[in-house]
Amino acid sequence: MSTKSPTEADILRPVNNVSKKFFMLFGASALALGIFLVAWMYQLANGMAVTGLSDWGSGGGVTWGLYIGAFIWWVGIAHGGIILSAAVRLLGMDRYMPVARLAELLTIAGLSAAGFYILVHMGRPDRMVTSVLGHYHITVNNSPLVWDVTVITAYFVLTATYLALTLRYDITRLRDQLPDHFEPVYKVMTLGYTKDEDEVVERMVWWLALAIIIMAPLLLHGGVIPWLFAVLPGMPAWFSAVQGPQFLTIALTSAISGVIIVAYAFRRAYDWDHIMTDDVFRGLLLWLGFFCLLFLWLQLQQNVVGLFAAPVDTFVAQEATLSHWAYLLSMGLVFGTLAYIFAQTIRPSLFTKARAIGAALLVLTATLLEKLLFVVEGFMHPTFEIYANTPGEYFPSVIEWLSLLGTIGMVVLVFLVVSKVVPVVELHAVEHLRGDHGHGHDDADDAATESEVKA
Amino acid sequence: MSTDDESFHPLGREWEGELEEMLDDTEYDSDLGMKMAQDAMRVTKGELSEAEFHEMYHDDVMEEFGVDDRPTEAAYEQAQEAQKGTATRMLEAFEGDGEQSRRETMKKMGAGAAAVGLGAWATVDDGPETNLAAADGDDGGSNEGTQLGMVIDLERCDGCLSCVAACQEENQTDQGVNWMYVLDYREPGQDEPGASRNRLVRPCQHCTDAPCEKVCPTTARHTRDKDGLVLTDYDVCIGCRYCQVACPYGVNYFQWDEPDVSTDEIEEMHSDMDGDHMVDDRDRWVDSRAPRGVMSKCTMCPTRQDGHMGDEYRGTTACEEACPPEAINFGDMNDPDSKPQRYLRNVVQTRAERMVDGESPNRENVQESYDFLEGDIELLDMEYLEDGDHDEIEAALFIQGELDADDLSLDDEELREIVIDILGGADALEDLDEEELGTLADILLGDADEGDADADDREAANDAIDAVITNAEDGVQNVVDRYESREITPAEVEESLLILDGEEEPWVSEDGITDESTAQQVLEAYAGGEASTFKLLEEVGTNPNVTYVGNEPGPEAEQVDGPVAYSDIGQTDNRKDVLDESTVGDFGVSL
């Protein structure tokens, strides 16, 4: 493993250096986002007819498609990110401390992408404030969509607070080595800082983490997001109590995959082998395997219940899902990843970072496919499937595919920009690594205990 | 599927065997009704002018019903000024129980006025209240106040799609935006589509516990306090389409691009009425097609309910008005005396009432036939003749010397033409040409010498003239015979209806229908037995306000082609066909 000892200079490297590669990646990401923005303008000018969507029923299509599928996907990545970070703090999983802030940033970036998708998806985004906020006190009582907006906003605020509080500690201590042109930003962020607050902040952060850990399964990706679909009795592909846990497992697999990819990118760009050690990746991969298993287990539940002796509408929907190539591909990818992860646990030599990245990418592809199909299948096989034009047809248009490119570009941009302003690895992590070097075995025990707690 | 079935015994095959023999003897032309309905549709589409339509069927109508009660052309022009503009009124003249609906309209006006007053008080910027009431939702369907809805008799629907076309015209919706949708379906294991009456009429169900309203993040989708209509406020909707996702019936249509008809055009179309057919009494934009980027669906015509089109349109919808067999019954589902509730209470009676309206031979016709046989009325004075034409009888009577030249209503030329027609129809004279027939006619009318024609021909000509009278008289006798044999003619149906209504001795003679149980049997044989009723997907808990009479589609029912295709009425069935044209990068594949 690492031979060098982590230093403050290590985590400051991204802030104080720019390379050609940075500008190239920045340019490519900005271009991706820019292309989609142009496409979105075209959509705003010509209406939603530029998408591949139509009305379900006699209209022969699906009314929600890739925009909503990708929205859930990003929200999943985001929610999983903050859960991971909160678990690190709350449960003392110190081994993952170096990637905690990246996970938090992934939450901020993912939620931004998801929020953007809400705007892109709407027929009249200009009315968002007047129509939604104006009637909020009424609609919050009964519209799952309003619950969604509420909880996502709450999570954005929680995560931002969390991030802002922990950054105060770092910025104050590292201020001298941070670039002066961001002085106003640092000033605002450390407003009124005194050393006495460290202890208070630590407690606050702990409570925030507790709130996040409790709210995630109850309200967030195990709650309001699946409820958007699971509470609708007319759509048997969705109407199921298993959607909550299922969404949560998908969120966690996606988020861990996301963190693996982001962490690997930073490690490679800034030579952080000694900070984000192979050990971290092995651990993340194991967690990924664990959630992949839960993911497949819950899919199994749906298939057995939906196919054994289900009501006609449920049976039709489940059978259609099970025989769909996208579903089989998605399940195959997750299963393959799971098989690899378990194999490399038994035989550690099978682990390489490239394979870890590969596993993460495959899982992200699988969850995106699953989400897209999940949304579409609901409209394809409703209870009232009497229409000749149902199941309808849907394939995302070029503009919809570009949205995926655009939001990925957007998320990358968030990382590129933030990493130039503040350290993306906590000072605490460096201090911890210096203090507690080589406690790999303890960490493994910790992880085992955590999985028991979770289970 | 024969159209005769639909007109005379909607229960179809079961009844057919029993009734066919009896019905074969009747002469009422249901084909004509269907043809007129189809052409009426052409009128609504503007392919045919109302005047042309009127003219086209005048002769047939006279022949069939002996009277043409349709508004005259002049009346049409008036009607056009009143912006009615569709051919439906012409059909109403035959099938509508005009008297009753007028009475009901008057009643509704009273209740409506009260509701408007109350509504205005309760709905001052009322989005919140409306929605909170709906959010409560656990009262299992409100039984208080007005709740507009429909009773749709699926066994009366003939799948002509007149309602679909009328809705499109009323609301100026785009191609494929079928707020009203009619579909035929097949149950699994059923070989032949249409073997039994499997048809569904699908407007919005205007649910009491509308899931679309519940999930709306903006209150754009709301229930109107005064009459329970579930509407979309086009000025509030953000186009998230969650209502469409939550609705189990698939009645929502999003406005994916700029609508074909502009608001200016809609305003222009309705410039002579009170509102603009868009804004309702509460000043909310809820009617006509949606603007770009927001959701739309069947509204059940708030503009009409608010009286903007005139009080006679209150309590009606465009689809109801357009339906030739009057399968759609719109009104207050909470009022036991409303049109739909009355229909539901006695489906068979109401159905028979409507089917028999304008049909012959009715009670008066039978009475007249008795009068003739008893010598109280002359053949020529009869309103209804089953077999025989007034002009031909007049000509025959004149030739026979029974009618003075002074009493003739025909001029010489007409008379000669009619006689030629009679002779031309005689088998014995079929070899003669027009000129020879003319000569024979002249001989009969005393305008030519007997020697101008062959003696056999002259004899045959006289026989043909006699046959006109004998046939007509036989026809009259036949009406009475059929009546006395209790064949189910409109007269028997009318009697049965009156008996069940409690009227004393409504029969023409004791040989007609005289007791309640026979009366009930007659009605069931004529209009079909007591049919089952259902609400669509009731188990989903939406408390829909549309009640259907007829067969409920099973969970595996699948739509099949109906008798009239959407393209036949200039509409699009699958909207995706239209929308694909605007898709950027339509790969022609599907997930």
Is residue B427 predicted with pLDDT exceeding 90?
no
- Chain B CB contacts of A228 under 8 Å are 242
pLDDT at A435: 78
Strand order across the beta sheet in which B558-560 lies? B199-202, B181-186, B558-560
The distance of B377 to chain A (nearest Cα, Å) reads 59
Q: Are strands B328-332 and B533-534 parallel, antiparallel or unpaired?
A: unpaired
* Pair of tokens at residue B546: 């549309």
- Hey, is the C-beta of B228 within 8 angstroms of any chain A C-beta? no
Is B540 in contact with A234 (Cβ distance < 8 A)? yes
Q: Is A42 on the interface with B (CB under 8 A)?
A: yes
Q: What is the pLDDT of residues A348-360, one digit of tens each?
A: 999 999 999 999 9
Residue B328 above 90 pLDDT? yes
Decide if A117 contacts A403 (C-beta within 8 A).
yes
**Mutate which: B583, B586, B589, vs A, most A CBs within 10 A:** B583
Average pLDDT, chain B: 82
**Closest Cβ–Cβ partner in A46, A139, A141 for B218:** A139
- Paired tokens of A133: 């906020």
CB interface of A with B, residues 102-161, below 8 Å:
121-125, 127-128, 131-132, 134-135, 137-139, 141-146, 149
Tell me how many helices (H) and strands (E) chain A has. 18, 0
Q: How many CB atoms lie within 10 A of CB B69?
A: 12
Q: Measured between CB atoms, does A325 come within 8 Å of chain B?
A: no
Measured CA to CA, the distance from residue A266 to residue A100 in angstroms comes to: 13
**A225: contact with B, CB 8 A cutoff:** no
DSSP-assigned letters across all residues of A242-278: THHHHHHHHHHHHHHHHHHHHHHHHHHHHT-TTTS-H
Taking the Cβ of residue A232 and every Cβ of chain B, the question of whether any pair is shorter than 8 Å is answered with yes
Can you tell me the mean pLDDT for B520-526?
Answer: 90
SS3 for A161-178 is: HHHHHHHHHHHHHHHHHC
**A42, A50, A58, best to mutate vs chain B, most B CBs in 10 Å:** A58
Task: Indicate the residue of A55, A124, A373 with minimum beta-carbon distance to B239.
Answer: A124
In this complex, is the C-beta atom of A59 within 8 Å of any C-beta atom belonging to chain B?
yes
B414 CA: distance to closest CA in chain A (Å): 56
Q: Which of A194-198, A409-413, B72-76, B526-530 is the most confident on average?
A: A409-413
CA of A390 to nearest chain B CA: how many angstroms apart?
9
B238/A127 CB distance under 8 A: yes
Q: Is a pLDDT exceeding 90 seen at residue B57?
A: no
How far apart, in whole angstroms, are the C-alpha atoms of residue B257 and residue B175? 12
| Mean pLDDT of all residues in B414-423 | 89
What pTM was estimated for this model as a whole? Answer: 0.79
C-alpha span between B305 and B287 (Å, rounded):
11
- In this prediction, residue B37 has a pLDDT band, given cuts at 50, 70 and 90, of low
What's the rounded mean pLDDT across residues A191-210? 90
CB contact under 8 A, B254 and A127: no
User: Is pLDDT above 50 for B451?
Assistant: yes
Surface-to-core class of residue A187, CB atoms within 10 Å of its CB (0-12 exposed, 13-18 middle, 19+ buried): exposed
Asked if A58's CB is within 8 angstroms of B181's CB, the reply is yes
| Whole-number Å distance between alpha carbons of A309 and A286 | 36
pLDDT level of residue B136 (50, 70, 90 thresholds):
very low
Q: Which of A143, A329, A402 to mutate against chain B (most B CBs within 10 Å)?
A: A143
Does residue A93 register a pLDDT over 70?
A: yes
Distance, in Å, from the CA atom of A68 to the CA atom of A121, rounded to the nearest integer, reads 7
Q: Does B215 touch chain A (CB under 8 A)?
A: yes
Length of chain B: 591
What class does CATH assign to A8-434? Answer: mainly alpha
Q: What is the pLDDT of residues A131-160, one digit of tens each?
A: 999 999 999 999 999 999 998 898 899 899
Residue B13's H or E segment, with its range, is: helix B13-24
Distances (CA, A) of B163 to A176, B34, B251, B298, B362: 77, 15, 15, 12, 30
Using pLDDT thresholds of 50, 70 and 90, give the confidence band for residue A445.
very low
Query: Given this model, what pLDDT does residue B125 score?
Result: 38
Gyration radius (Cα) of chain B, Å? 28
Instruction: Tell me the C-alpha distance between B183 and B5, whole Å.
Output: 19
In this structure, of A63-77, B29-43, B399-413, the range with the lowest mean pLDDT score is B29-43
- Which among A58, A132, A398 has CB closest to B218? A132
The answer to whether the bond into A382 is cis (omega within 30° of 0) is no
Amino acid at A398: V
Phi and psi at residue B403, to the nearest 5°: -130, 130
> What are the backbone dihedrals phi and psi of residue B65, each rounded to the nearest 5 degrees, phi first?
-110, -10
Site of tokens 């000669």:
B416
Q: Is any Cβ of chain A less than 8 angstroms from the Cβ of B583?
A: yes
Q: What pLDDT band is residue B487 in, cutting at 50, 70 and 90?
A: confident
pLDDT (0 to 100) of residue B404: 85
Q: What is the pLDDT of residues B148-184, one digit of tens each?
A: 999 999 999 999 999 999 999 999 999 999 999 999 9
B449-469: average pLDDT: 86
Taking CA atoms, what residue in B is nearest to A320?
B591
How far apart CA A186 and CA A164 sit, in angstroms, is 11
By the CB < 8 Å criterion, does A168 face chain B? no
Is the predicted pLDDT of residue A180 greater than 80, yes or no? yes
* DSSP H or E stretch at residue B496: helix B490-500
Pick from B201-210, B310-319, B359-368: least confident: B359-368
Specify the pLDDT at position A80.
Answer: 78
All residues of chain B having their beta carbon less than 8 Å from the beta carbon of residue A35 are none
Q: Is the ipTM of this complex over 0.90?
A: yes
CA triple B373-B376-B380, angle to 5 deg: 80
Provide the angle, in degrees to the nearest 10, between the axes of the packed helices B434-444 and B455-484.
Answer: 80
A27 lies within 8 A of chain B by CB:
no
Cis peptide before B193 (omega within 30 of 0): no
pLDDT computed for residue B233 by the predictor:
97
Kindly provide the b/e burial profile for residues A265-290, where b requires at least 16 CB atoms within 10 angstroms of the residue's own CB: ebbebbebebbbbbbbbbbbbbbbbb
Q: Which residue has the higher pLDDT, B336 or A3?
A: B336
DSSP label of A131: I
Residues of B (192-211) whose Cβ lies below 8 Å from A: 200, 211
How far A421 CA lies from chain B's nearest CA (Å)?
A: 36
